[in-house]
Amino acid sequence: MASNTIKEHIPHVQDMYREYFLEYASYVITDRAVPHLHDGLKPVQRRILHALREQDDGRFHKVANIIGQTMKYHPHGDAAIGEALVGMGQRDLLVDTQGNWGDPVTGDSSAAPRYIETKLSKFALEVAFNASTTVWQRSYDGRNLEPVTLPMKFPLVLAQGTEGIAVGLATKILPHNFCELLQACIAILKKEKFKLLPDFPTGGLADASAYNDGQSGGKVKVRAKISVDDPKTLAITEVPYGVTTASLIESIVSANEKGKIKIKKIEDKTAAKVEILVHLPAGADPEKSIDALYAFTSCEVSISPNCCVIFENKPVFIGVSELLEISVQHTVSLLRQELEIRKQDLREKWNFKSLEQIFIEEKIYRKLETADSSEAIISVVDKGLKPFRAKFLRDVTEEDIKRLIEIPIRRISRYDANKANEEMIALDKAIKETEKNLKGLTNYAIAYYENLLTKYGKGRERKTKLPRGGFSAIDASEVILSNLKLYMDREGGFVGTALKNVGGAEQVEGEFSALDEVIAFKEDGTFVVTKVSDKAFVGQKILRVEKFDRADDSAVYNLLYRDGRGGATMAKRFTIGGITRDKQYDLTKGSAQSKVHYLEVQPGSQADKVMLHHVPQPRIKPTLAVNFEDYPVRPRGTQGVIVTKHAVKKVERLTKIKQG
Is the domain of 450 the same as that of 484?
A: no
Helix (H) or strand (E) holding 454: helix 441-456
Give the domain CATH number at 287.
Answer: 3.30.1360.40
Give the domain CATH number at 27.
Answer: 3.90.199.10
The total number of structural domains in the chain stands at: 4
- Summarised one tens digit per residue, pLDDT across range 456-484 is 999 999 999 999 888 877 777 666 777 78
- The pLDDT of residue 477: 66
Query: Which of 181, 203, 233 is the last residue in one of the domains?
Result: 181
Does 209 fall in a domain? Answer: no
Burial status of residue 481 (CB atoms within 10 A of its CB: 0-12, 13-18, 19 or more): buried
With a CB cutoff of 8 Å and minimum separation 6, the contacts of 470 are: 207, 208, 209, 221
Tally of CA atoms within 13 A in the half-sphere of 15 that contains its CB? 5
Q: How confident is the model at residue 72 (pLDDT cuts 50, 70, 90)?
A: very high
- The pLDDT of residue 4: 60
More confident residue, 413 or 174: 174
Is the domain of 80 the same as that of 47?
A: yes
- Summarised one tens digit per residue, pLDDT across range 12-33 is 667 776 777 777 777 777 777 8
Q: Tell me: pLDDT of 54 over 90.
A: yes
- Summarised one tens digit per residue, pLDDT across range 386-399 is 888 878 888 888 88
- Summarised one tens digit per residue, pLDDT across range 446-459 is 999 999 999 999 99
Is the domain of 543 the same as that of 418?
A: no
Least confident interval from 97-106, 327-336, 507-516: 507-516
Is the domain of 489 the same as that of 443?
A: no
Q: How confident is the model at residue 582 (pLDDT cuts 50, 70, 90)?
A: very high
- The pLDDT of residue 411: 84
- The pLDDT of residue 242: 92
Burial status of residue 459 (CB atoms within 10 A of its CB: 0-12, 13-18, 19 or more): exposed
237 backbone φψ class: left, alpha, beta (φ>0; ψ -120 to 50)? alpha
- The pLDDT of residue 143: 92
- The pLDDT of residue 14: 72
Does 432 fall in a domain? Answer: yes
**To 5 degrees, how large is the angle CA 642–CA 648–CA 649?**
160
Catalytic-role residue among 115, 448, 557, 585: 115
Is the domain of 273 the same as that of 402?
A: no
- The pLDDT of residue 177: 96
The strands making up 265-268's β-sheet, listed across from edge to edge, are 225-230, 233-238, 276-279, 265-268
More confident residue, 483 or 570: 570
Is the domain of 32 the same as that of 97?
A: yes
- The pLDDT of residue 46: 96
Query: Which of 275, 303, 331 is the last residue in one of the domains?
Result: 303
Is the domain of 544 the same as that of 643?
A: yes
Q: How confident is the model at residue 526 (pLDDT cuts 50, 70, 90)?
A: very high
Between CA 465 and CA 445 the distance in angstroms is: 30
Between CA 653 and CA 607 the distance in angstroms is: 11
Helix or strand or coil: residue 518?
strand
Is the domain of 493 the same as that of 555?
A: yes
Q: How confident is the model at residue 5 (pLDDT cuts 50, 70, 90)?
A: low
Is the domain of 103 the same as that of 18?
A: yes
Question: What DSSP state is assigned to residue 622?
Answer: S
- The pLDDT of residue 77: 86
Between CA 499 and CA 505 the distance in angstroms is: 7
More confident residue, 168 or 173: 173
Neighbouring CB atoms inside 10 A of 630's CB total 12
For the chain, give the percent of residues with pLDDT over 70: 96
Contacts 24+ apart (CB under 8 A), 631-634: 631/571, 631/572, 631/573, 632/573, 633/556, 633/573, 633/574, 633/575, 633/604, 634/572, 634/573, 634/574
- Percent helix, strand, coil in the chain (nearest 5)? 35, 25, 40
- What average pLDDT is seen over the chain? 89
Pair 74, 49: CB distance under 8 Å: no
Domain region containing 571: 479-658
- The pLDDT of residue 361: 81
For residues 164-176, average pLDDT: 90
The strand pairing partners of 205, in sequence order, are 223, 465
Is the domain of 450 the same as that of 483?
A: no
Between CA 52 and CA 44 the distance in angstroms is: 12
Query: Which of 390, 424, 456 is the last residue in one of the domains?
Result: 456
Does 626 fall in a domain? Answer: yes
- The pLDDT of residue 658: 46
For residues 321-347, average pLDDT: 95
Does 614 fall in a domain? Answer: yes
Does 96 fall in a domain? Answer: yes
Burial status of residue 141 (CB atoms within 10 A of its CB: 0-12, 13-18, 19 or more): exposed
Does 327 fall in a domain? Answer: no
Between CA 591 and CA 563 the distance in angstroms is: 6
For residues 631-653, average pLDDT: 91
Is the domain of 269 the same as that of 151?
A: no
- Summarised one tens digit per residue, pLDDT across range 244-284 is 999 999 999 999 888 888 899 999 999 889 999 999 998 88
Is the domain of 654 the same as that of 523?
A: yes
More confident residue, 412 or 5: 412
| 598 catalytic residue (yes or no) | no
Does 85 fall in a domain? Answer: yes
More confident residue, 595 or 417: 595
For the chain, give the percent of residues with pLDDT over 90: 63
Pair 93, 123: CB distance under 8 Å: yes
Q: In whole angstroms, what separates CA 286 from the centre of its chain?
A: 31
For residues 415-442, average pLDDT: 91
Between CA 513 and CA 498 the distance in angstroms is: 14
Q: At what angle do helices 417-439 and 441-456 cross, to 10 degrees?
A: 100
Does 536 fall in a domain? Answer: yes
